[in-house]
Structure 1
Amino acid sequence: MRNRQNSPGRGLLYGLYQKRLRRELDEGELPHHVAMIIDGNRRWAKQNFLATAAHGHRAGAAKVVEFLEWCDDLGISVATLYLLSTDNLKSRSEEELSELIEIIAQLADELSDYRDWRIKHVGSNDGLPGRLVEALENAETQSSGNTGLHVNLAVGYGGRTEIADAMLSIIRAHQEAGDSLDDLAANLDEDLIGAHLYTSGQPDPDLVIRTSGEQRLSDFMLWQSAHSEFYFMEALGPDIRQVDFLRALRDYSRRHRRFGG
């Protein structure tokens, strides 16, 4: 699919270190669901003296496929990728946004026909152009019968918006059922809200990773990450190596998860 022979960090020592990390992981517990904020694409393009941010976004999209291969090969069940936020839709230039939307649409097309992966769009269609909505819907439909890695594409996504949409969905459901506000108040709990999130029916992420050295969530999976472990990488999105990911998993496997305790 893409030539990786000349990628940095592919020498003998790299290979030996990677094998050592894999052996160490065999002794620990791996996450079932990994969520990734692939950040730093624009900085990567600038550092490499490329003309536009689109070059960085394309490199980031190529890294997404590679990252998902790593997850799949390790037996991770669910991977969520933060690709386009509701804030991005408001803050990016029209030119950059147009290019990014086309890159994401192409990525969705590619992933829907790659391995046995099942693709799901998590986010709102509000503000997304028809080409992108169609690509995301087609990816879901085409891969709906697959049983391999479950891939969530967080596009047009915002954590606060997701929670607000969940509440609106709950209210509408109760109205359609003819229930009163007292009925709603009596039944409103965490499970009910969770059932109306974009990720309804899925396990919450065990591990949330962010690249580029930034240490913030940026409105990503606010509800679902309440008990997640976090890991922050210094590498920019397109520069992530498999050993970086394996280090994150090794770090996770050594933690004692307290789940808020």
Structure 2
Amino acid sequence: MDIKDQVVLNKIPEHIAVIMDGNGRWARKHGKPRVFGHKNGVQSVREITEAAAEIGVRYLTLYAFSTENWSRPKLEVNALMGLLVETIHKEVDTLNRNNIRLKAIGEFEKLPPKTCEALKEGMEETRDNTHMDLILALNYSSRWEISNAVQNIVSDVIGDKINAEDISESLISNYLATHFMPDPELLIRTSGEKRLSNFLLWQSAYTEFYFTEKMWPEFRKEDFYSAVHEFQNRERRFGKTSDQIV
């Protein structure tokens, strides 16, 4: 039986997050520069976006560029920014055909002007789509996000917009960049690394993690369906016992 046929469509995670890791190592394995891996990773983005939309995922968040990635070689960073512009321009029509809305989280206003402009244009051209949100985490880090939320909460307390006694988990969540969507139920990381790398730390309190040895340019629809299928066979207790869940 095909792995997609084993996925239970009424138990699909509403929000899936992905750390797209391994482009550089995949390129090195093929004797190519790191940029070659990033270019081939675009096909994986396309396939996983289609796969998520096909089975009814509502939110798909891709960790595309972290605040720490600025420390990479300038040539690689510039190539990534150019690739992002090129990919957005090419894929907008496909997103619209599939009723997918493009969104972003992070300090994307600080991206190079052409990259930021292309991103904003893509979000504007797809803003009325309703089937799925594709969220790119760009110039994003969870520590930045949480620090920014704390600053805004303090500012609103000082400005008498909220009371300090009102601060709760749900209020903090409403001040995060991800306030418009639920926490991820499943987080997938490729390349064999087993860490969050400053990604959705607050939101991942009860997220199920799926790690695969496959490098991102090798990750295809079948791999995505396998991750969802494994998720569906896990017992999610949220602090309760197995007997309580039953």
TM over 0.5: yes
The code of the aligned residue for 2:7 comes to L
TM-score (norm 1): 0.86
Matches within 5 A, 1:25-64: 25-26=7-8, 29-50=11-32, 52-64=33-45
- Give the TM-score normalised by structure 2: 0.91
Cα contact 1:123–1:198 (8 A) shared by 2: yes
Percent identity between matched residues is 37
Q: CA deviation at 1:28?
A: 6.9
Q: Distance in 2 between matches of 1:111 and 1:172?
A: 39
Q: Quick one: which of 117, 120, 132 aligns to 1:149?
A: 132
Shift of 1:111: 3.7
Q: Distance in 2 between matches of 1:186 and 1:64?
A: 43
| Backbone CA RMSD of aligned residues | 1.7
Report the more deviating stretch, 118-127 or 140-149: 118-127
1:158 maps to 2:141: yes
SS at match of 2:104: strand
Q: 1:172 to 1:138 in 2, by over 3 A?
A: farther
Between the aligned partners of 1:195 and 1:23, the Cα distance in structure 2 is 37
Aligned in 2, Cα 1:38/1:168: closer, same or farther, shift over 3 Å?
same
The one of 63, 79, 82 aligned to 1:102: 82
**Which 10-residue stretch deviates more, 30-39 or 104-113?**
104-113
1:30 is aligned with what amino acid? I
Contact conserved, 2:142 with 2:202, CA < 8 A, in 1?
A: yes
From the superposition, tell whether residues 128 and 222 of structure 1 become closer, same or farther in structure 2 (CA, over 3 Å).
same
Q: Match for residue 204 of structure 2?
A: 225
* Change in 2 beyond 3 A, CA 1:28/1:248: farther
Hey, what's the Cα distance between the residues in 1 that align with 2:166 and 2:179? Answer: 17
Distance 1:112 1:143 in 2: 7
Q: Which moved more, 1:73-82 or 1:134-143?
A: 134-143
Post-superposition CA distance 1:97-135 (Å, at most 9, x none)? 000111122223334332211011111136421111112
Given that 2:20 and 2:190 are in contact with CA atoms closer than 8 Å, whether structure 1 keeps it comes out as yes
- Unpaired stretches in structure 1, ≥5 consecutive residues: 1-16
Within the candidate set 76, 90, 102, 1:119 is matched to 102
Aligned to 1:138: 121
Instruction: Indicate how the Cα distance of structure 1 residues 138 and 126 shifts in structure 2: closer, same or farther if over 3 A, else same.
Output: closer
One-letter amino acid of the structure 2 residue matched with residue 97 of structure 1 = V
